[in-house]
Amino acid sequence: MAPDKIRRRFLACCSGIGLGGTLLPGVLWAQLQQDGAQQVTPEMLKAALGLSGLSFSDTDQNSVLQAVNGSLARYEEIRNLHIPNNVAPPFYFSALTPGMKVNRTREPLRFTTPAVKRPANLEDAAFWPVMQLAQLIKTRQVTSTELTKMYLARLHRYNEKLNCVVTFLDDVALAQAKQADAEIAAGRYKGPLHGIPWGAKDIITVKGHKTTWGSGAYKDQMLDEEASLVEMLRDAGAVLLAKLTTGELAQGDQWFGGQTKNPWNIEQGSSGSSAGPASATAGGLVAFGIGSETSGSILSPAARCGVTGLRPTFGRISRYGVMALSWTQDRMGPLCRYAEDCALVMSVIARPDGRDLSVSEIPFNWNAHLDVRKLRVGYLEGAFEETRDAAMKAIEERTLDQVKALGVKLVPVKLPEWSIDTSSIGVESGVFFDDLIRSDGDKRMTNPGRANSFRSSRLIPAVEYLQGQRARSMMMAKLADATADIDVYLVPANQGAGGGGGRGRGAAPTGAAATTPAGGERGRGGAGANRSVVGRHFGMANLACYPALNVVNGFTEAGTPTNITFYARPFGEAELLALGKAYQDATGFHLKHPALG
């Protein structure tokens, strides 16, 4: 076969991933199957090496050829092995850098206990913070069944507008609510989530029900497992109302049922990929939602829909029973209406489960009465000066003044120099969806073009992947040094992560999980993907696994929410949420909600 033809066929199939400096014959293996051949030929190998920019002597190429052909049987065995979705590689990423100190002492949880009175019309409580709803239930002014029926009615009524539900779970919800009421009546109150209705992003597995991952390729998928966080919330007495929408395979807000909408402007998508949890929470259709983030999928829809979205530290919450995009970047987190709501949910699900071995034993020590004046608070130097829109600039300057008024001193945080994209999304998602690609299942996808990144991941040699992870460690150390004297710091919401527009900071990051105009996984999150200070920081903090909190800080002239992002160092969620709560208590922006009619 002519070398040019080999190269064209090779490109059509994509290349193999490198191992130990050689190229795995992943796609050469497909070439062999197609041709009915038994061995990789020198021509095939030469074409593969050329694609990787490598040139070896004839002697070295012969050695590589022998090694590749000698491994073909092992590759066939691996490809014929069924690997369940919940099996991760046996290496576990850590958000901690050498020398980073965290509080490993478990302390009592301290929540507020608001005084509440049942409204004449229970639906008036649809937008209440979770702790207020919890007090209604604890004081037996409202039953879980009443609250559940109210939220189910709103879900059914407004889903036609928002398109935020994949699967209604009315029977499940009413049974769980009935059980909660019986337990509470018997004096077995489990805590503030007991009887509280919630919704799960549809990459989270609920046994006995479909988990579609938002894709036409998986719209009938039934997985015989239960996500750990579903079990934890059920054990705490929470009531699951629905499987809420996700952009297809955790990208954007487009799924096989259409586009999920923003309750503040139903002509606009909700952003994603935690599209449903953000939309439903913002619309008062659930008390809270659980979403996931790899690179923007909580922060982006939280900003667009004007809710309080927490992206926790990597290793805080188990991902067992959840679709994977990146085993070294994926995080689960709550989308709520109030910072303390996020803390309440975290207090239940932020713990090891013995299944996801990346989850840390570091405790989440929430104290609603923390004196925020004792926190070391900063702002990202240069980021606020980038804003060109006058109205947005005024909102951001007001935000800094409001934080100062809490009694804290704002100190500048300088972003360290770093321009190398070290993301792992492309390789790791390509591994997770390898069966989909090799079985041509991508042809059944709602957006088949989404699969291009999975194919192209085979062009990334393993040596480069691992070297990129080493470079990521270097970047993490630089960011840790830059934030060493800070507990929490403020950054304008990334333009690519939804929110009120007009910041004028350039294009959003793009990459392996390319975004739609409505938002989604914000590309690979690489530090060099966006040259603005805000964009570079977004990529670095994401890959360094820093927790972040989206908070509404005002509204545009059109009445849509604008946002600020609070960041903390790894495992600093308690301080992060404490400052967010103090800001919300002082400003009240979180209390405003959309009118759905």
Instruction: Convert the pLDDT of each residue in 309-344 to its tens digit.
Output: 999 999 999 999 999 999 999 999 999 999 999 999
pLDDT computed for residue 21 by the predictor: 36
Question: Nearest 5°: CA angle at 594, between 405 and 285?
Answer: 110
The confidence score (pLDDT) of residue 80 equals 83
Beta bridge partners of 175: none
Which of 257, 333, 326 has the alpha carbon at shortest distance from 301? Answer: 333
- Encode pLDDT of 418-435 as tens digits: 988 888 788 999 999 999
* Nearest-angstrom CA–CA distance, 405 and 148: 39
DSSP annotation string for 524-545: T--TTS--SHHHHHHHHHHHTT
Q: What is the pLDDT of residues 343-359, one digit of tens each?
A: 999 999 999 999 999 99
What angle (nearest 5°) sits at the alpha carbon of residue 430, between those of residues 540 and 245? Answer: 80
The C-alpha angle with vertex 47 and arms to 43 and 49, in degrees rounded to 5, equals 115
Compute the distance between CA of residue 346 and CA of residue 316 in angstroms, rounded to an integer: 9
Q: At what angle do helices 72-80 and 58-70 cross, to 10 degrees?
A: 40
Q: How far is CA 196 from the centre of its chain?
A: 23
Question: What is the pLDDT, as a whole number, of residue 56?
Answer: 79
For the chain, the structural domain boundaries read 3-93+424-463
pTM value? 0.88
How many angstroms separate the CA atoms of 181 and 329, rounded?
38
Give the residues of the chain that fall short of pLDDT 50: 1-27, 30, 496-530
Q: What is the pLDDT of residue 204?
A: 98
3-state secondary structure at position 200:
strand
Q: Which residues contact 22 (CB under 8 A, 6 or more apart)?
A: 64, 67, 68
b/e map 525-547, b = 16+ CB within 10 Å: bbbbbbebbbbbbbbbbbbbbbb
Mean pLDDT of the chain: 88
pLDDT value of residue 306:
98
Alpha-carbon distance values, 165 to 306, 497, 516 (Å): 19, 22, 20
Q: How high is the pLDDT of residue 37? A: 63
Cα 132 to Cα 165: distance, rounded to the nearest angstrom:
25
List the catalytic residues. 201, 273, 297
